[in-house]
């Protein structure tokens, strides 16, 4: 077997593995509970209790659900890179976000809170944030102004 044939075979093998992982990998993880998906996809940066390392990795407790109280905050929670790029299908992301806003909230959710849905997550995921840090700062400023 020539070297180019071996390289072609290896390339084909890796491409096949990639396609299988994309097609079936996220489906398998979508069957996980939201808590398990949090451990798999979020806990590498946000600790089990939702703590982060501000300012680069924000903490969730007492803050996450606050974004639901301001215009654009709901979309932001889906569009941050960790959520938008998670190897989960839209339904699993919706379930994960719904679990997270309840789990890391220290007061009742807004009375008009509607749980995330897969179509909503798909719509928000299709819009990439150019500067997530700036968007977060803008939303936090809006929250601060609301409180005054």
Residues 66 and 69: their CA atoms lie apart, in Å, by 5
Predicted pLDDT at 39: 93
Residues 67 and 87: their CA atoms lie apart, in Å, by 23
Instruction: Tell me which residue range forms the domain holding 10.
Output: 1-31
Residues 61 and 88: their CA atoms lie apart, in Å, by 23
Q: Please tell me the pTM assigned to this model.
A: 0.77
122, burial (CB in 10 Å: exposed 0-12, middle 13-18, buried 19+) = middle
pLDDT tens figures, 57-66? 889 998 899 9
Same domain assignment for residues 26 and 76: no
pLDDT tens figures, 80-109? 999 999 999 999 999 999 999 999 998 888
- Domain count along the chain: 2
pLDDT tens figures, 26-73? 444 557 899 999 999 999 999 999 999 888 888 999 889 999 989 999
Same domain assignment for residues 19 and 80: no
Cα 110-51-135 angle, rounded to 5 deg: 60
Model confidence at 13: pLDDT above 60: no
Same domain assignment for residues 101 and 125: yes
Same domain assignment for residues 67 and 18: no
Residue 80 is part of a domain; what is its CATH number?
1.10.760.10
Same domain assignment for residues 57 and 126: yes
Same domain assignment for residues 26 and 77: no
Same domain assignment for residues 13 and 55: no
Same domain assignment for residues 127 and 67: yes
Same domain assignment for residues 25 and 38: no
Same domain assignment for residues 55 and 40: yes
118 phi and psi angles, rounded to 5 deg? -60, -45
Same domain assignment for residues 121 and 109: yes
């Amino acid at each position: 077997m020539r070297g180019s044939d071996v390289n072609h075979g290896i390339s084909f093998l890796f491409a096949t593995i990639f396609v299988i992982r994309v097609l079936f990998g996220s489906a398998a993880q979508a069957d996980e509970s939201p808590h398990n998906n949090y451990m798999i996809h979020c806990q590498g940066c946000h600790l089990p209790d939702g703590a982060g390392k501000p300012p680069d990795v924000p903490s969730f407790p007492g803050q996450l659900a606050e974004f639901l109280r301001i215009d654009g905050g709901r979309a932001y929670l889906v569009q941050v890179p960790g959520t938008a790029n998670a190897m989960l299908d839209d339904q699993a992301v919706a379930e994960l976000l719904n679990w997270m806003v309840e789990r890391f909230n220290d007061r009742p959710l807004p009375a008009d809170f509607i749980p995330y849905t897969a179509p909503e997550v798909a719509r928000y995921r299709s819009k990439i944030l150019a500067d997530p840090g700036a968007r977060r700062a803008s939303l936090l400023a809006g929250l601060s102004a609301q409180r005054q």
